[in-house]
Chain A
Amino acid sequence: MSTVTLTYREASRAGIRHALATDERVFLMGEDVGAYGGAFAVSMSLLEEFGPERVRNTPLSESAFVGAGIGAALNGMRPIVEVMTINFSLLALDQIVNNAATLRYMSGGQLSVPLVVRMATGAGRQLAAQHAHSLEVWYAHIPGVRALAPATPEDARGMLLAALDDPDPVFIFEHATLYPLEGELEETPHAVDIDHAAVRRGGDDVTLVTYGGSLGKCLQAAETLAADGIDAEVIDLRTLRPLDTETILASLAKTHRLVIVDEGWKTGSLAAEVSAQIMERGFDLLDWPVRRVCTAEVPIPYAKHLEEAALPSTERIVHAVKEMAF
């Protein structure tokens, strides 16, 4: 099996390119996805390859172009809609929550909305409080949609392809700090599983559950802990809705300790949902109360030291684990 080394950005682009090349129903639309190459340079060169019909620059009208994606999906197309950041996606929430998520159910199963929406999420780039929030949990709250958080280049490419095969709306949250991350991928693009979490590092003493931009921090924390003789298992949720609780429960049967690391705010977070599901289904497996490492409850600040202090860090993860008795 031959492999290639790609950045997360290149991998995401490779997924889009593969879809455009192999399925004429697929098109990309969003703000500055054309000549500019996308706000995060994901769609660079795709306009030259596929032309302005299939790589469509949109006006700054999030509600209209996300809604148009829904309409096009209802009418035989497979749109990939890029919204610059999750903060901007709030301008399209009416279309997402009231239309995309409801149409199959409300029409008694007559309508299908095979729509893929990608957006950047997360902090760490000093972009302050209107470009850097982690609101994935809001989408994970909504019945009728699937929410994905690729944390690796392989997932950035393969989840996009899997999302396009899904007959229902899929939201892909790409953490903005991951775009330069390199990884080795199989040369031929293919869809990946989007139903299950992945164990990214095996371990017996404690389970770290995370997703997206926090995976690297957890793996680093696991190395630090290993030096102190604590063997951490790291689970990447990958799919935020529907949650794969089974994989977490299987891990807790070994480790009996759970720390959830989530860049969202702690109140009403995805970490809260994981914790609640474990209380309901795995309480007896636990030797220690569940711990959560989340973002401080502030709008993300601009100043570097404040932003760093607000976000989950390797140190805070290590600290949360070490508070537990082993």
Chain B
Amino acid sequence: MSTEATAKATTLDRDHGLRLLREMLRIRRFEERAAEQYSLAKIRGFLHLYIGEEAVAVGVMQALTPNDAVVATYREHGHALARGLPASSLMAEMFGKASGCSRGRGGSMHFFDVSRRFYGGYAIVGGGLPIAVGLALADAMQGRRRVSACFFGEGAVAEGEFHESLNLAALWKLPVLFLCENNLYAMGTPIVQELAVTDIAARARSYGIPAHAVDGMDVLEVEAAARRAADEVRETGEPRFLELRTYRFRAHSMADPDLYRTKEEIERWKRRDPIVLFEERLRAAELISDGDLEELEAAVAAELDEAIAFADAAPIEPVEDLLKDVTTPRSP
């Protein structure tokens, strides 16, 4: 895949390589277990899996500090895990439990964790962009050098809020890192049927925002581009934009029979599986061995077993609390 990113990959050593591989693997296996739990009816509602796109969340998250903010979409399990939200609190959330990261009020599409500045999964396409602009506005006005990282899909590019938000962030010079996960489909509609101009980075540039397209299946390339862009946001206080070209291997949601893509297309993309690609790279560089992989898989499996056990055992919110936190209670 041709890309415009020119940043050098960070030096790849064994520790860093294992870390990236582990994070991607955690997401992959988490999603597989989530699908399993959905089939067991432990998880209901919509469930959108991130399988195939792991390199994007993991690569980008390397560039962010705990002080930065993250705004994500309804396909946000990967972002939440990579940001450090415990798998147990995410699984409990999807089980509708009070120990979930949103007390069971949000479910799969609405993870929140203020302590990690994870400002949520937003299920209205494009709806998170103005929020990220506002988070950045507050940082700019209060003189804080922080990044507000905003993930959205290429479907959002057709929404008015995308254009309003890019214009406002550029006009007011706000420290937003816009991260467009271009997986080529807005639910079932291919990009060529939704966008008159499919070069998304070019559209960002038309608002005066420096933008690059990045191979979203290459975790090192994503990391390098994200580090450079996030550094620039921090240095200049101005927005940057990355188009991360990726592909989801699973259907849009568990409710989607996936009739709009050919098997050949899916198989072609699976040959660029970000985890397999990276694993091969680490092996070729003789940074990991079979034993490392087995250890990683075992550790991830144990973590997810624990997460599911935790979610199963977690308490539900008492119905008496149904009305709690609609608004803040007022003192009489």
Interfacial residues, chain A to chain B (CB-CB below 8 A): 27, 53, 56, 58-59, 61, 63-77, 79, 94-95, 98-99, 103-112, 143-146, 166-168, 195
Within the complex, what minimum Cβ distance (angstroms) separates A111 from chain B?
6
Q: Is the CB of B112 within 8 A of A71?
A: no
- Residue on B nearest A114 in the bound complex, by CB: B328
In the complex, are the beta carbons of A27 and B141 less than 8 A apart?
yes
Which residue of chain B has its CB nearest to the CB of A53?
Answer: B141
CA distance A79 to B120 in the complex (A): 21
Measured between beta carbons, the chain B residues less than 8 angstroms from A72 are 134-135, 137-138, 141
Q: In the bound complex, what is the Cα–Cα distance between A67 and B134 (angstroms)?
A: 7
Chain B contact residues, majority secondary structure: mixed
Interface segment out of the listed B32-40, B157-165, B187-195, B272-280: B157-165
> Which residues of chain B in 57-114 are interfacial with respect to chain A, using CB atoms and an 8 Å cutoff?
69, 100-106, 110, 112-114
Cβ-defined contact, B165 with A75, below 8 A: no
Given A63-B161, A104-B327, A110-B113: A99 touches B167 (CB 8 Å cut-off):
no
Between-chain CB contacts (< 8 Å), 16 pairs = A56-B172, A59-B164, A59-B168, A64-B161, A67-B129, A67-B165, A74-B119, A79-B134, A105-B325, A105-B326, A106-B106, A109-B103, A111-B114, A111-B120, A145-B327, A167-B328
B contact residues around A109 at 8 Å (CB): 103, 324-325
Residues 318-330 of chain B, each 1 if its beta carbon lies under 8 Å from chain A, else 0? 0000001111101
Q: A99-B122, A99-B127 are in contact. List 7 more A-B contacts (CB 8 A).
A: A64-B161, A71-B148, A79-B134, A106-B106, A108-B101, A144-B326, A144-B327
A280 to B165, CA, bound (A): 45
Complex partner residue of A104 from B122, B141, B325, CB under 8 angstroms: B325
Identity of the chain A residue whose Cβ is nearest the Cβ of B148 in the assembled complex: A71
B202 within 8 A of A: no
Name B138's contact: one of A65, A77, A94, A95 (CB within 8 Å): A77
Which 7 pairs between the two chains have the least Cβ-Cβ distance?
A: A71-B134, A67-B130, A108-B103, A64-B164, A75-B138, A68-B134, A61-B164
Residue B311 interfacial (CB < 8 Å): no
| A59 adjacent to B171 (CB under 8 Å) | yes
- Give every chain B residue within 8 A of A168 (Cβ-Cβ): 327-328
- Is B124 engaged at the interface, CB distance under 8 Å to the other chain? yes
Q: Is B233 an interface residue (CB 8 A)?
A: no
B139 touching A95 by the CB < 8 A rule? no
The CA of A108 and the CA of B102, in the complex, are separated in Å by: 5
User: Any chain A CB within 8 A of the CB of B147?
Assistant: no
A56 to B173, CA, bound (A): 13
Binding site for A on B (CB under 8 A): 69, 100-106, 110, 112-114, 119-120, 122, 124, 127, 129-139, 141-142, 148, 160-161, 164-165, 167-168, 171-172, 324-328, 330
Chain B residues contacting A77 (CB-CB under 8 Å) are 137-138, 141-142
Chain B CB within 10 Å, residue with most, of A71, A77, A107, A195: A71
Please tell me if the beta carbons of A64 and B105 are within 8 angstroms of each other in the complex: no
Q: Which residue of A lies closest to B120 (CB)?
A: A107
Residues A68 and B103 in contact, CB atoms below 8 Å apart: no
Decide: A107 and B114 in contact? CB cutoff 8 A.
yes
Contacting pair B138 A103 (CB below 8 A): no
A213 → chain B closest CB, angstroms: 26
Q: How far is the CA of A74 from the CA of B139 in the complex (A)?
A: 11
Q: Is the CB of A104 within 8 A of B168?
A: no
B327 and A65 form a contact (CB under 8 A): no
Query: Contact partner of B100 among A104, A108, A167, A195, CB < 8 A?
Result: A108
Identify which of B105, B127, B139, B168 contacts A75 (C-beta below 8 A).
Answer: B139
Q: How far is the CB of A305 from chain B (nearest CB, A)?
A: 38
In the complex, which residues of chain A have a beta carbon less than 8 angstroms from the beta carbon of B328? 104, 112, 166-168
Are the CB atoms of A61 and B167 closer together than 8 Å? yes
CA A73 to CA B141, docked complex, whole Å: 12
